[in-house]
A and B are shown apart, each in its own frame.
Chain A
Amino acid sequence: MLSPVTDPDGAPFWQYAAQGELRVQTCADCDEPRFPPRPCCPHCQSFACEWRKTSGQGRVWSYVVPHPPLLPEYAEQAPYNVVVVELADAPRIRLVGNLVTGPDAPLDSLPPARIRIGAKVQAVFSGTGLPQWVLERP
Chain B
Amino acid sequence: MSRWLHERRGGRHFTFVVLGACLPVILTVSGCTTGSSEARKDLSARALLDFKTGEIILPLDAYDATTRWADFQSLQRATYLAVDECMVARGQRYTAAHIIDAPDTNIGDRLYGLWNVDYVRKYGYDSPEVQTNIAIAKDAEAGGDAWGAAWKTCYETTIPTEIRSLIPGLEEQRRSLVSRLRAEARSRAEADPGWAAARVPWAACLQKAGLEPHTDGWRSKQAQDMIMSENDVPTQGTQELSRIAYIEAKCNVESGLTQNLGNLEAGYQQPLIDANQAALNKVKEQAQQRLATAKAYIATHG
Binding partners A and B: no
